Amino acid sequence: MTAMDKSEYRLENLSCASCAAKFENNIKNLSSVEEVQLNFGASKLAVVGNATVEELEAAGAFDGIKVFPINERRHEPILPFYKRKENVVSALSLLFLIAGTITSFRYSETYPPAIVLFAIAIVIGGAGIFKVGLKNLIRFEFDMKTLMTIAIIGAAIIGEWREGAIIVFLFAVSEALEAYSMNKARQSIRLLMDIAPPSAVVKRGVEMVELPTESIVKGDILIVKPGEKIAMDGVVLIGKSTVNQAAITGESVPVTKQQGDEVFAGTINEEGALEVKVTKLVGDTTIAKIIHLVEEAQAEKAPSQKFVDRFAKYYTPAIMVLALCIAVLPPLLGGDWQTWIYQGLAVLVVGCPCALVVSTPVAIVTAIGNAARQGVLIKGGIHLEETGRLNAVAFDKTGTLTKGYPEVIKFITAEGFEKERLLRAVAAVESLSQHPLAKAIVTYANSNGIKNVHASDFQSVTGKGAYGTVEGSTTYIGSIEWAKELCTLPATALKEADRFQREGNSVMAVVTDTKYSGLIAVADPIREESKAVLQKLKDIGVQHTVMLTGDHVATANAVAVDLGLTDVHAGLMPDDKLTKIRLLREQYGRVAMVGDGINDAPALAASSVGIAMGGAGTDAALETADIALMADDLEKLPYTIRLSRKTLRIIKENIMFALGLKIIALLLIIPGWLTLWIAIFADMGATLLVVLNSLRLLRVHK
């Protein structure tokens, strides 16, 4: 399906999985349509062709499905409970059912007024069912409503009017509950869609104009007041403020933003006024990409769902054959026709596959939506299921387990040198250096209150270090080997330097004129949360945690020991990481790779589940990984695995509920206890259990 000839639409009133399948099939039969994709979880339709909205709505008229262009911002009216059509229908049907039941108990079930009351209950509650069911029957299309229509007509023919009315009422309640539950499950996407404001104030020249976001272009300047939502992705030009990014990244603590910092559409400016230069169009913003990826993820069928779909394909015909056999064979062998036709109708009702059909998709939709709200983007049901089955997790070191930038760990001065004065001299020289470790030293000096010191005669010595003149003395900063060439290093200094290096630090010596004056140990510090995260992974059953890094063996081993990793592989190039992932999969089965989504792309692709850190604003992470942790928050990893495992457990429970209740009901045929109302109650009960059980996934939090 190409983007050029594809039209996308939002759908309303799409609450039934079997109705969605029929709607999709009806659209396929339109002469103006070449290809169609219907996303039940997201209530979204993609069509290749030139079908009009009227034609599409006509294809869904059987269930009152409404179609709207994808870019049309709509706020569905929140109707009170008593005004919802499905609830009104259920209530009226119940009213006449109660009246008919009271009348039948007072007189008899064959009393004409009682039959009329039951018939009215059937017509009110079942008009929609009959309309679709009879059409399907004529076309030999056997879905849930066809089975229900046959059962209700059969009940009326054999005089079981009360049973027919009970079936209709319970089915109406079931549909009302399913509509409510699916709306609840889809709410996560609706909330995402409402995050970004529809318009913004833009500065064009000296004018301030409010424009819809669709009219804002790259380079426009947004004026964002305190308390307002940022409408577009961009970069701060003027101002400083804290921005609440929870909607995008799941971070609970607001982030400080100032000139040059990136901001995202849908985030909230809390304190100061900002001027933001727009960098992405409305359809390309981070929140737009998240919505698109979440919707695509919910459309992708998970392995469990594919199994259920295949099973249901053979299950429904088998139930119909069984019902026919029960209705016909015993009477042919001498049984009572009315009794066994009644039993056959009950089997037809209890065999409705609706609970089985929704057992997986409602769980997948709910879990992926919950994860998106927590700042975790899961790109499909298959990845959700794979994450729930992980046996091992491999981590990149730099930027994943560590902060990804160097910091000064130790600054030691030799006897006779004042620490503050020496640090001032070192910072003055390093402020002129381009070496990666220089910035760490300058930052350390600034944090200790040392600023605005200048060095003259600066010189960088390739492979050794740098030097310059500060306050009349020449200060050298560089490798231990270079320092040995400049002066004699004390044995204690050499011993300390060796210890720091064994611990995985980069060590530099400081020489003032011709005297050794100090040591500086610099390292990429471990994230504060890394140790706790690895412990949580072990607690939830992930026993194998592995580090794959290009760093030196000594550095990698020091980090691995500190964090309690089970295995470490150091000195790896990107292709080496790919090889290691393949070996780990052979050894442990399902293995996740956690990396930055760019340098680790081959390993992410080769793993069972590729998990990228810091997906917000990083297109590469959103595109290459199966899962993106939007806030660069490693603590979301145990949450994601717990959510995935709970989803797997709930899917299994749902299938057991769906089939178990039906098997129990079918077994009631043996003693002759199965009635039509028990059959519909078993079907409705199974559907309700499945949906409510799936909604438990909304309660899984970090």
In the three-class reduction of DSSP (H, G, I as helix; E, B as strand; rest coil), residue 30 is classed as coil
Name, in order, each residue with C-beta under 8 angstroms of 551's C-beta and a sequence gap of 6 or more.
Answer: 397, 398, 504, 570, 571
Instruction: Decide: 640 and 627 in contact? Cβ < 8 Å.
Output: yes
**Amino acid identity for residue 631 in this structure:** A
Q: What CA dihedral angle connects 490, 491, 496 and 499, to 10 degrees?
A: 150
Question: Which residues, in sequence order, are bridge partners of residue 6?
Answer: 48
What's the half-sphere exposure (Cβ side, CA atoms, 13 Å) at 410? Answer: 18
- In angstroms, the CA 339 to CA 88 distance is 34
Count the neighbouring beta carbons within 10 Å of the beta carbon of residue 111.
14
For 289, the token pair is 């990409």
CA 337 to chain centre: 54
Tokens 């009572």 correspond to 336
What CA–CA distance (Å, rounded) separates 370 from 41?
A: 13
Assign 692 to helix, strand or coil: helix
Element at 521 (helix H, strand E): strand 515-523
Sheet holding 506-512, edge to edge: 407-413, 515-523, 506-512, 473-478, 465-470, 456-461
Residue 261 designated active-site: no
Q: 3-class DSSP state for residue 342?
A: helix
Beta-strand ranges (E) seen in 604-702 are 609-613, 627-629
Which listed residue (63, 233, 396, 551) is catalytic? Answer: 396
Positions marked catalytic: 396
